[in-house]
Structure 1
Amino acid sequence: MLCGGTSAARPATDETQQIADKVKPQIEEKEGKTFDVFNAVEFKTQVVAGTNYFIKVHVGNDEYVHLRVFQSLPHENKPLSLHSYQSSKTKHDQLTFF
């Protein structure tokens, strides 16, 4: 991984799902709907002054969303934040920097 670049995509872990679950209310508010299905599928990370997580999430049927979640450095003691997201994605859309 290049310094500042994103990692290769890898299958989601329990930790990735926990991160997605913590920002789920934020994306539901922004989208104005509730997701009955919200399963993290894969993710990439980017080390900055903290960590950006790019997470592909299955939200039901053939629909996916891509999340960009920022986790600050531990000593800053700040909550996870949904930095941005992309909706209307498909299973085959690559997880890219956004």
Structure 2
Amino acid sequence: MMCRAPSAVQPATAKTQYIADQVRSQLEEKENKKFPVFKAVSFKSQVVVGTNYFIKVHVSDEDFVYLRVFKSLPHENKPLTLSNYQTNKAKHDELSYF
């Protein structure tokens, strides 16, 4: 299987929100805080040995976080993993690979 570049940015879907919700507790634990809002806004995906999702999430007033979530191949039967994240992002910041 060949890795590809991330897709173009797309508006978040119900599936994107579900993925973000599945890793919310992992992020809140790492940041040691609860987010009052957690709404996926947009995303990119990248096929690797599984799929990386790069998700822009609105977390409060003007604050956004970027999530990189890894979804393993179906036969591996593993939960979604928060691979990386970036905080202190703004609405106008470009969602890019990290």
Q: Which runs of 5+ in 1 are unaligned?
A: none
Give the fraction of aligned pairs with identical amino acids, expressed as a percent: 64
Q: Give the Cα separation in 1 of the matches to 2:74 and 2:17.
A: 19
Q: Give the Cα separation in 1 of the matches to 2:6 and 2:20.
A: 18
CA RMSD of aligned residues (A): 0.6
Q: Give the Cα separation in 2 of the matches to 1:76 and 1:22.
A: 17
Q: Give the Cα separation in 1 of the matches to 2:4 and 2:11.
A: 21
Q: Hey, what does 2:35 align to over in structure 1?
A: 35
* Correspondence 1:55-66 to 2 at 5 A: 55-66=55-66
Q: Which aligned runs of 4 or more in structure 1 are off by greater than 6 angstroms?
A: none
Q: Hey, what does 1:4 align to over in structure 2?
A: 4
Q: 1:1-52: CA deviations, max 9, x gaps?
A: xx51000000000000000000000000011100110000000000000000
Q: Hey, what does 1:83 align to over in structure 2?
A: 83
What amino acid sits opposite 1:17 in the alignment? Q
Q: Hey, what does 2:53 align to over in structure 1?
A: 53
Instruction: Report the Cα offset of residue 87 of structure 1.
Output: 0.2
Aligned residues: 96
What amino acid sits opposite 1:43 in the alignment? F
SS at match of 1:19: helix
What amino acid sits opposite 1:39 in the alignment? K
Q: Hey, what does 1:96 align to over in structure 2?
A: 96
Q: Give the Cα separation in 1 of the matches to 2:32 and 2:79.
A: 22
